[in-house]
Amino acid sequence: MGRIGVITLLALLAGGLLAVSSGAQPSSSGEPAPAAFRLLDGSAGCSFDGSRLTCSSHEGATAVLEEDGSSHPSAEAARWDASTPVLRRTESWWHGGFSCRVAGEEIVCEREHGSIAVGGDGVGGASSSSD
């Protein structure tokens, strides 16, 4: 591998580390820091508090995905605004066993055997199965 190949590889690795490090980072106590993301059009967003993921539509419908994969509606909306990072169709967010991606016009998040989906039309696809 020539110099250009090595330099390119190092640049890609550095970029990958920066992309991953922008997610939920541990606080000084070792707990994950809060994180949030939203759809580009602002119709839905999610926030992670270190142990559970809360996703809300702009209309106010909210679902929570718990650490054990169970999901349920919530009266407390996810916290996000115009300054919150955008989750794009080509990206995903993850922390521990939680993972989220954009599918169609929704954010779809999974943990264990459960999942939630939220978009401009509200919350849907909340499910939990026990194996």
pLDDT digits (tens, 9 = 90+) for 95-118: 989 999 999 999 999 998 899 999
Q: Quick one: pLDDT at residue 15?
A: 52
Q: Pseudo-torsion of CA 85, 55, 119, 39, nearest 10°?
A: 0
What would the mean pLDDT of 5-24 be, rounded to a whole number? 53
> What are the tens digits of pLDDT across the range 70-89?
999 999 999 888 899 999 99
Q: Which two tokens stand for residue 53?
A: 């993921």
> What are the tens digits of pLDDT across the range 19-65?
444 444 443 445 555 699 999 999 999 999 989 999 999 888 999 99
**Are residues 115 and 127 in contact, defined by beta-carbon separation less than 8 angstroms?**
yes
